Structure 1
Amino acid sequence: MPAERTFPLAVGFLGAGQMATALASAWAKAGLLDASRSRAADPYPDARAKFQAATGIKTVEANRDVVAACDVLVLAVKPQVMSAVLDEIKPAISAAHLIVSIAAGVTLKTLGDSLGADTKLVRVMPNTPCLVSASATGFSPGSTATLDDAALVESLFSAVGTAYRVPEYLLDAVTGLSGSGPAFVYLFIEALADGGVRCGLPRPVAQSLAAQTVLGAARMVLETGQHPGALKDAVASPGGTTIAGIHALERAAFRAAAIDAVEAATKRAQELGKRE
Structure 2
Amino acid sequence: MTLEIGGALVLIGAGKMGSALLAGWLDRGLEPKTLFVQDPDPSDELTSLAQRKHFSVGADAAALPAAPAVIVLAIKPQIMDEVLPFLKPLVGGSTVVLSIVAGRTLAGMERHLGAGSAI
TM-score category by the smaller chain?
A: 0.7 to 0.9
Which amino acid in 1 is paired with 2:4?
A: P
CA displacement at 1:75 relative to structure 2 = 0.6
Higher relative contact order (CA 8 A, sep 6+): 2
CA displacement at 1:11 relative to structure 2 = 1.5
Corresponding position: 1:51 with 2:46: yes
- Name the counterpart of 1:8: 4
Using the size of structure 1 for normalisation, the TM-score is 0.38
Contact (CA 8 Å) 2:11, 2:36: kept in 1 or not?
Answer: yes
Which amino acid in 1 is paired with 2:98?
A: V
Which amino acid in 1 is paired with 2:59?
A: E
Q: How many residues align?
A: 113
Q: Secondary structure at the match of 2:37?
A: strand
Runs of 4+ in 1 over 6 A off after TM superposition: none
Using the size of structure 2 for normalisation, the TM-score is 0.82
Contact (CA 8 Å) 2:12, 2:73: kept in 1 or not?
Answer: yes
- Name the counterpart of 2:89: 91
- Name the counterpart of 2:37: 40
- Name the counterpart of 1:100: 98
- Name the counterpart of 1:73: 71
Percent identity at matched positions? 32
Provide Cα deviations, 1:189-221, integer angstroms capped at 9, x if missing partner: xxxxxxxxxxxxxxxxxxxxxxxxxxxxxxxxx
- Name the counterpart of 2:114: 116
CA displacement at 1:115 relative to structure 2 = 0.5
CA distance in 2, matches of 1:69, 1:108: 20
CA distance in 2, matches of 1:66, 1:102: 20
Contact (CA 8 Å) 1:87, 1:114: kept in 2 or not?
Answer: yes
Provide Cα deviations, 1:98-118, integer angstroms capped at 9, x if missing partner: 100010001111111210011
Which amino acid in 2 is paired with 1:110?
A: G
CA distance in 2, matches of 1:120, 1:21: 23
- Pairing of 1:143-154 with structure 2 (within 5 A): none
Gaps of 5+ in 2: none
CA distance in 1, matches of 2:4, 2:109: 26
Gaps of 5+ in 1: 1-5, 122-276
Shift of the 38–114 alpha-carbon distance from structure 1 to 2, 3 Å rule, reads: same
Which amino acid in 1 is paired with 2:48?
A: A
Shift of the 23–12 alpha-carbon distance from structure 1 to 2, 3 Å rule, reads: same
Which amino acid in 1 is paired with 2:49?
A: A
Larger radius of gyration: 1
Shift of the 74–64 alpha-carbon distance from structure 1 to 2, 3 Å rule, reads: farther
CA displacement at 1:69 relative to structure 2 = 7.0
Q: Secondary structure at the match of 2:32?
A: coil
Provide Cα deviations, 1:79-121, integer angstroms capped at 9, x if missing partner: 1111011011112321121100010001111111210011001
Provide Cα deviations, 1:231-257, integer angstroms capped at 9, x if missing partner: xxxxxxxxxxxxxxxxxxxxxxxxxxx
